[in-house]
């Protein structure tokens, strides 16, 4: 169905983004609970979710903070996990790059896996959409996901403060991170990157300040990029 108005474009994005609340909501609750378990107060939890808006990066940072890793390691590791967002931005630039600056600021702020995947697929399927229609669809795709992410983060933080301090929840952090990352492993380069990163991280587990994670992450990125190049040469 062709989108003809900004209102219908927004509503289409709202409809397409609705199923993702089934994923965003539970993970946001879990993040809020685990963050309070790690020692963050309600204000810090909400600031974390409002500023970062990236589940995988937030769980990564939380795990490293719990392990008393240096601040620079926490920041660099979270940034490395979110490097894919730079590629998302580049892919959306041909479709949204001509939008007004204030709109592009909010587009960048709300850029997550779901908003990218839905918007890029829509823009390719309906190339005749105008810039205002594309922006409206993008914001529609973000609306419910963001409402549930922020709201459920608050609910999780509030719940976390009510749980007994002796209740063990440490096991849930790595499980939550794995359950968010695993669905992203859809291609051979993704699998090669993940396998390389895991092996190198385990081999470098004794490196101080959790630097083994950065070594594994860098090695994984190199392995993924080389696998992508190898596949491209085979297809040529």
Summarised one tens digit per residue, pLDDT across range 5-25 is: 899 999 999 999 998 888 888
Helix, strand, or coil (residue 37)? helix
- Express as a percent the part of the chain with pLDDT over 70: 88
The pLDDT of 183-200, averaged and rounded, is: 83
Establish how many alpha carbons lie within 13 A of residue 89's alpha carbon, considering only the half-sphere containing its beta carbon: 13
Q: Read off the pTM.
A: 0.76
Q: Helices marked H in the chain — which ranges?
A: 6-17, 21-37, 42-52, 55-66, 71-81, 84-96, 101-109, 113-125, 131-162, 172-181, 188-203, 211-235
Residue 102 exposure: Cα atoms within 13 Å on the Cβ side: 0
- Between these two residues, 16 and 178, which has the higher pLDDT value? 16
Residue 189 has pLDDT above 50, yes or no: yes
Side-chain half-sphere exposure of 147, counting CA atoms within 13 A: 10
For residue 210, the model assigns a pLDDT of: 67
d(CA 76, CA 81): 9
Contact 51, 82 (CB under 8 A): no
The contacts of residue 1 (CB under 8 Å, 6+ apart) are: 12
Q: Are 3 and 129 in contact (CB under 8 A)?
A: yes
Chain-wide mean pLDDT for the chain? 84
Average pLDDT on 57-65 reads 83
> Which has the higher per-residue pLDDT, 120 or 4?
120
């Amino acid at each position: 169905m062709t989108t003809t108005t900004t209102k219908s474009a927004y509503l289409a994005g709202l409809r397409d983004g609705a199923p993702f609340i089934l994923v965003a909501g539970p993970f946001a609750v879990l993040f809020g609970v685990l963050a309070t378990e790690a020692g963050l107060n309600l204000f810090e939890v909400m600031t974390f979710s409002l500023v970062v808006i990236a589940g995988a990066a937030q769980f990564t940072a939380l795990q490293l903070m719990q392990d008393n890793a240096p601040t620079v390691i926490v920041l660099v590791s979270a940034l490395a996990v979110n490097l894919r967002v730079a590629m998302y931005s580049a892919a959306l630039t041909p479709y949204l790059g001509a939008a007004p600056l204030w709109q592009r600021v909010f587009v960048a702020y709300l850029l997550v896996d779901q908003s990218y995947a839905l918007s890029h697929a829509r823009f390719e399927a309906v190339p005749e959409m105008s810039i205002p229609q594309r922006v409206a669809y993008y914001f529609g795709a973000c609306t419910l996901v963001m409402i549930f992410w922020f709201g459920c983060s608050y609910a999780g933080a509030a719940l976390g403060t009510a749980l007994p301090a002796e209740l063990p929840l440490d096991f849930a952090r790595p499980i939550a991170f794995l359950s968010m990352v695993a669905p992203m492993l859809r291609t051979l380069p993704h699998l090669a990157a993940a396998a390389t990163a895991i092996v190198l991280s385990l081999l470098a587990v004794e490196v101080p300040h959790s630097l083994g994670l950065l070594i594994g992450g860098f090695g994984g990125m190199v392995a993924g990029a080389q696998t992508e190049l190898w596949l491209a040469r085979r297809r040529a």
